[in-house]
């Protein structure tokens, strides 16, 4: 019996699978944001819109099924009760699926797309 943990899936493969799944299922305005150096909770954030609450729920179900088919069974899903905004946590990638008006209200892409300010080096800091 082999009890070794599953092989780590490359981030680019995971990212491509999620984007392709969303695109195949007619998600709208798919945006992929690189979080490297901006957040500790994930390396990528994928944001998209569904046309209705039912479409949002369906997109989340398809993403979870695609991840499970790849061997990732530990995905967390939040927000499926109302389906205004569903979050799928795939570990290195967090997927936000919104109804369009909810997406406009929260505007996550604006918040997370801003470049991080450069951190001054120790030599640049002057003690007063």
Q: Which of 91, 77, 100, 103 is nearest to 44 (CA)?
A: 91
Would you call 43 helix, strand, or coil by DSSP? coil
Structure tokens at 41: 């909770």
Give the pLDDT confidence of 54-97 residue by residue, as tens digits.
999 999 999 999 999 988 888 899 998 888 999 999 988 999 99
| Number of residues in the chain | 128
Q: Which of the four pLDDT bands, split at 50, 70 and 90, describes residue 5?
A: very low
Q: Are residues 52 and 99 in contact, defined by beta-carbon separation less than 8 angstroms?
A: yes
Domains (range + CATH), the chain: 11-113 (3.30.460.10)
**Helices 11-24 and 53-69, axial angle in degrees (round to 10):** 140
């Amino acid at each position: 019996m082999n009890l070794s943990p599953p092989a780590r899936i490359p981030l680019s493969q995971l990212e491509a699978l999620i984007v392709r799944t969303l695109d195949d299922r007619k998600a709208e305005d798919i945006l992929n944001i690189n979080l490297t150096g901006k957040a500790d909770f994930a390396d990528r954030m994928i944001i998209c819109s569904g046309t209705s609450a039912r479409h949002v729920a369906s997109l989340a179900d398809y993403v979870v099924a695609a991840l499970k088919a790849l061997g990732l069974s530990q995905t967390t899903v939040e927000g499926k009760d109302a389906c205004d905004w569903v979050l799928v946590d795939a570990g290195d990638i967090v997927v936000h699926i919104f109804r369009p008006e909810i997406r406009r209200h929260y505007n996550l892409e604006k918040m997370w797309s801003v470049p991080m300010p450069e951190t001054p080096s120790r030599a640049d800091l002057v003690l007063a």
